[in-house]
Structure 1
Amino acid sequence: MTRSDQAAPLGGVSPATTRVMNLAHFLTQSARRLPNAIGFVWGERQWSWSELEARVDAMADALVSRFGVRKGDRILVQSSNNNQMFESMFACFRIGAVWVPTNFRQSPDEVAFLAQASGARGMICHAAFPAHAVACQQAAQLDFVIAIGSADFGPDYDVIVEVHLGKRAESPPIFRDDPCWFFFTSGTTGRPKAAVLTHGQMAFVITNHLCDLMPGTGPSDASIVVAPLSHGAGVHQLVQVAHGVKTILPAAEKLDVAAIWQLVERWKVSNLFTVPTILKMLIEDPSVDRFDHSSLRYVIYAGAPMYRTDQKRALAKLGPVLVQYFGLGEVTGAITVLPPHLHSQEDGPEARIGTCGYDRTGMQVEIQDEAGREVEAGTTGEICVIGPAVFAGYYNNPDANAKAFRNGWFRTGDLGHRDADGFIYITGRASDMYISGGSNIYPREIEEKILAHPDISETAVLGVPDPVWGEVGIAVCVTREGVAASSIDLRAFLEDRIARYKLPKAVIFWDAMPKSAYGKITKKMIREELERRGELPVFGETENA
């Protein structure tokens, strides 16, 4: 028997009609099992699981009965980390609405674009961002705005919760492909796009995270937040709720390293999620030695590969607790994993230096050429992935979807290779690679060599136009504290470490690197800062060094 693509699937059930659990039920389950246990801590305030459940029920009821929100409506959330933002995720999920968190450090115009692009019906906005609320109302003609705190642009979130306490909105039926979260990309190569995450996809992601990143995690554990809840940290905290793990939210909006370590000691924190640049700050601050962090079992980092020198310092300070994963927002982090036992502090064959690990459970990864064919081990190509963690596509953006998918595979835009044992190595973003004299140059390789210099703390290498070679590399560096840039001859240091055609043609020193709201160093931001400073080199007819 043959079956066309238009025929009913075997078993007669399609993904669109497959009922799944509403993700907000994870909170309900924890509240039932652990009603009086601490679920959330923010500064000196604490909420039990049953209190969180009641507050989420109240806001969900208000969204439906007072503001008329229905399944599928998008709710934009503009706020720094707080308990209300955390609760708003579950309130939206509970009634089948779509949670649309922003990068709260974006400008009013940038957030207004997100409101318009997502088709937001309403907004929850912290009182500290009145201009954002006004811009979004004008751009998207919102039906309502709720203020976190006292503000002129809308009623107070906590007052609404108080009025509706004890009420519970009915949850509509939820199906596998129903959207729950618009996860906006960071827009490193253009305007942000809304990646559509679904209830069924995210249920798999949560299970996968618990399996691959933090096995054995449960109610006796605690997790600390060191990044905005709008993106990866929000996914991580949703995972904690699923297993009744208390969330510790620092009181300060900005990263206070000493306060983080103090909270780790006080609450016996067992896991945290962060990005390499923030982990670097955590382990290089003197406060890491003042507080007890022996409770840590999993220090999970993602968002970018961690440079080997930083990795070794972290292992020396924290012990064998590092977990690396590679994954974009579009795959909700679930592409590869490198667990603690595969993080080696000593260099050598067993260290597999530079790897981001192997395929995540239930996911399939291939290194493909430009035609979509899998390449041999050791050959560089584009990292592509299929599996239940892959998002449903970009909202209302058919052109982006056409570019992102090929033969069912999601194209990450990252270049890399796989070794004979199945471990994957990221070379860099396809957009970061440059071609000099006909040779492909991958900045990641050069950056690793630069950071082997004992006096250099951070670096970024990017390609710039050159009339002779097409493109050449420049290196932007930050020295370690107390070291004068004039004392470093980087090209001499690199001469015996990399091929001459890979040597940066220019080296620029800055006091600090610009970083995104999520602690990442992006080539787009480096290039923009070079242009702003007037330091972007213009090369003439000279020989390649």
Structure 2
Amino acid sequence: MSAQAGTVLGGVAPQTTRVMNLYNFLNQAARRHGPDLGFVWGDKAWTWADMRRRVDAMAVALARLGVAKGDRVLVQSKNCNQMFESMFACFKLGAVWVPTNYRQTPDEVAYLAKASGATTMICHADFPDHIAACRAASPELARVITIGALDGHDEYDALVASHDGESAPAAGVERDDPCWFFFTSGTTGRPKAAVLTHGQMAFVITNHLCDLMPGTTNADVSLVVAPLSHGAGIHQLVQVARAVKTILPTSERLDVEQVWSLVALWRVSNIFTVPTILKMLTEHESVDRYDHSSLRHVIYAGAPMYRADQKHALRKLGRVLVQYFGLGEVTGNITVLPCHLHEEEDGDAARIGTCGFERTGIQVSIQDDAGEEVEAGQTGEICVCGPAVFAGYYDNPEANAKSFRNGWFRTGDLGHVDAEGFLYITGRASDMYISGGSNIYPREIEEKILMHPDLAEVAVLGVPDPTWGEVGVAVCVPRPGAEVTEEGLLRWLDGKFARYKMPKRVVFWEELPKSAYGKITKKMVREELERRG
């Protein structure tokens, strides 16, 4: 007999599911480690006590301006201490933090403002056009606070100074109260707001510490090399939970030498990044000129890492790589491949192509189109359940209906598990193409192409063909100074996989288009192919 709402189960009446307000992570760090440095940005530094005082002041300022529990606060900013603080100020009020990627256009951010229903905007002063576009699109956007002076707007640091020393109790929150609208990257359409909650995120933080960075303490140091608006922001929230010092590079764009110099200077022990950035970091000559022996966890996610790049990174950094697989909707919590399972040499122990096993408290199910679980070794859609799964998309019942089935969240990724439960991603369901009646998964072909010593990047996708339905096109980026031809590459690939999988065309570009988060997206590659005819 199932329990119904309001009934007594086992003699215990249902209780409200109050949970800790995530602001308390900062409060705890300040209480235990107040005088210690918490955030370093160039020649500026703040202790944990400084950070809490500034966040408390901004929370008071926002409340005086009318921001209340449940209100959405849009944040358009480069990486800076104010952006990081705004997260905790929103959490403290029970408001919803809605960060954007600062590289997005005014129209793109205006869409996020409207889709989120934001009533307040915190915007870096370098983006006045974004403010104008957001206000035009969303009349309900009642107030704008700028980071840096901009005529006609309240300035962030001035508000902090005017309320310095003031504080108020953190809002009481329940497990499913939203704290963060995590916008998807929109690789297959308009971005959607995944609703992350206080209870969900408490589990995510615990899980990250358990599975990605075991043994993390306040003696550790973390370096930011990606926008705080998405995965890097979640990673830094995890650092606050253990009072880990965060180092923020001063360069707006990736400066590889600066990254390695900061690793050496601050004895950095963990970094979160994506495969394309990790590739750039380990292929730059400066990696050999700076001491990076302090690194214990170099965490990469957002896309699978090609084996050739993985082996190179292991040769340069040692056994410090940690891979995880997880969409924004599951806040990164699906699988993990820890340091000790990253093998430099090929062989059975290397489990080439796996993204690891299920995260603690998470269950993965490979399902067919009918929602039935398939056997080990069979390809299907990767579905997941567990406390890290988001509450759903904000104000988007159609997307929610498509994304959940029988209680499982459908990732849209294809893959299979082996007999021991290690997951192998074949690709996005939307990436698969059918040629001559056969399903072709680009990931397998891309792995083989990247074993060619003269190629740095590749994307394979299916394009319409009158004879075969679809055929593969490989878009390749040669290494600097290398000369590779279509005929030569196809000859080199001959025999490395079944002939029906062989790309029918190969084109060479100087670089592949990437999203604002440094990921190669097939949608952008396809658009560029069409543009070039």
Shorter chain as denominator, the TM-score bin is: over 0.9
1:409 matched residue in structure 2: 408
Query: 2:204, 2:515 → 1: CA distance?
Result: 25
Cα 1:324/1:344, change in 2 over 3 Å: same
Q: Is the 8 A contact 1:272 1:298 kept in 2?
A: yes
Query: 1:30, 1:105 → 2: CA distance?
Result: 31
Query: 2:2, 2:471 → 1: CA distance?
Result: 54
2:116 matched residue in structure 1: 118
2:204 matched residue in structure 1: 205
Report deviation, 1:489. Answer: 1.1
Q: Is the 8 A contact 1:145 1:153 kept in 2?
A: no
Report deviation, 1:153. Answer: 4.7
Which residue type is aligned with residue 215 of structure 1? Answer: P
Which residue type is aligned with residue 13 of structure 1? Answer: P
1:101 matched residue in structure 2: 99
Which residue type is aligned with residue 13 of structure 2? Answer: G
Which residue type is aligned with residue 184 of structure 1? Answer: F
TM-score normalised to structure 1 length = 0.96
Which residue type is aligned with residue 90 of structure 2? Answer: C
Q: Is the 8 A contact 1:385 1:411 kept in 2?
A: yes
**1:309-324 aligned within 5 A:** 309-324=308-323
1:159 matched residue in structure 2: 158
**1:9-48 aligned within 5 A:** 10=9, 11-13=12-14, 17-48=16-47
Report deviation, 1:4. Answer: 5.6
1:220 matched residue in structure 2: 219
Q: Is the 8 A contact 2:329 2:389 kept in 1?
A: yes
Secondary structure, aligned partner of 1:416: strand
Aligned pair count reads 530
**What is the Cα-based RMSD across aligned positions, in Å?**
1.0
Cα 1:496/1:52, change in 2 over 3 Å: same
Cα-to-partner distance string for 1:384-426 (whole Å, 9 max, x where unaligned): 0000000000000000000000000000000000001110000
1:88 matched residue in structure 2: 86
Secondary structure, aligned partner of 1:489: helix
**1:145-184 aligned within 5 A:** 145-184=144-183
Unaligned runs of 5+ in 2: none
Q: Is the 8 A contact 2:486 2:506 kept in 1?
A: no
Q: Is the 8 A contact 1:130 1:153 kept in 2?
A: no
Cα 1:139/1:153, change in 2 over 3 Å: farther
Which residue type is aligned with residue 96 of structure 2? Answer: V
Query: 2:331, 2:441 → 1: CA distance?
Result: 25
Cα 1:432/1:487, change in 2 over 3 Å: closer
Deviates most, 205-214 or 168-177: 168-177
Query: 2:130, 2:491 → 1: CA distance?
Result: 50
**1:114-513 aligned within 5 A:** 114-141=112-139, 142-486=141-485, 489-513=488-512
Cα 1:253/1:220, change in 2 over 3 Å: same
Query: 1:412, 1:9 → 2: CA distance?
Result: 35
Query: 2:142, 2:356 → 1: CA distance?
Result: 46
Which residue type is aligned with residue 74 of structure 1? Answer: R
Cα 1:405/1:153, change in 2 over 3 Å: farther
Q: Is the 8 A contact 2:23 2:170 kept in 1?
A: no
Report deviation, 1:169. Answer: 2.6
Query: 1:152, 1:102 → 2: CA distance?
Result: 22
Q: Is the 8 A contact 1:366 1:384 kept in 2?
A: yes
1:539 matched residue in structure 2: none
TM-score normalised to structure 2 length = 0.98
Identity of counterpart residues, as a percentage?
71
Secondary structure, aligned partner of 1:461: strand
Which residue type is aligned with residue 375 of structure 2? Answer: E
Report deviation, 1:18. Answer: 0.7
Which residue type is aligned with residue 14 of structure 2? Answer: V
Query: 1:239, 1:495 → 2: CA distance?
Result: 47
Report deviation, 1:488. Answer: 6.9
1:540 matched residue in structure 2: none
1:541 matched residue in structure 2: none
Report deviation, 1:172. Answer: 2.0
Query: 1:233, 1:190 → 2: CA distance?
Result: 23
Which residue type is aligned with residue 306 of structure 2? Answer: Y
1:72 aligns with 2:70: yes
Q: Is the 8 A contact 2:6 2:14 kept in 1?
A: no
Cα-to-partner distance string for 1:314-369 (whole Å, 9 max, x where unaligned): 00000000000000000000000000110000001111000000000000011111
Report deviation, 1:152. Answer: 2.2
Which residue type is aligned with residue 200 of structure 2? Answer: Q
